[in-house]
Amino acid sequence: MRSFITPVLLLFVLSLLRADEKTYALELVARVELPTVVWSVGDTAGGSDCWGYVDDEGTDYAIMGVLDGTAIVRAEDQKIITTIPGPEYGD
């Protein structure tokens, strides 16, 4: 039994080491200034999650979770098109 566990454990450890080698070819294009609220010293809340969308004309949009709801941002010029209100305090 011991001779079976040793190779399995070794393969598991090696797979964990290889997991750190993944790289992504990403390039920061721009930053979007989102409204922030200071809850306490040094603590702010702004964007949370982001999804991509391309319309029929090929325009790219980012759909982002923000503090007040959901923001629609045009990727070309990083302009916030609209913000869809989310729940209020106590909702």
- pLDDT recorded at residue 11: 75
* Residue 15, in any domain of the structure: no
60 touches 76 (CB < 8 A): yes
- pLDDT recorded at residue 12: 75
- pLDDT recorded at residue 54: 96
Q: Model's pTM, two decimal places?
A: 0.58
- pLDDT recorded at residue 72: 92
* Residue 59, in any domain of the structure: yes
* Residue 4, in any domain of the structure: no
- pLDDT recorded at residue 32: 79
In sequence order, what DSSP letters do the residues of the chain get, joined into one string?
A: -HHHHHHHHHHHHHHHHHHTT---------------EEEETTEEE----EEEEE-TT--EEEEEEETTEEEEEETTTTEEEEEEE-PPTT-
* Residue 70, in any domain of the structure: yes
* Residue 1, in any domain of the structure: no
- pLDDT recorded at residue 13: 72
- pLDDT recorded at residue 19: 58
52: containing domain: 26-85
- Token pair belonging to 39: 């809850």
Q: Into how many domains does the chain fold?
A: 1
Which positions of the chain have pLDDT values less than 50? Answer: none
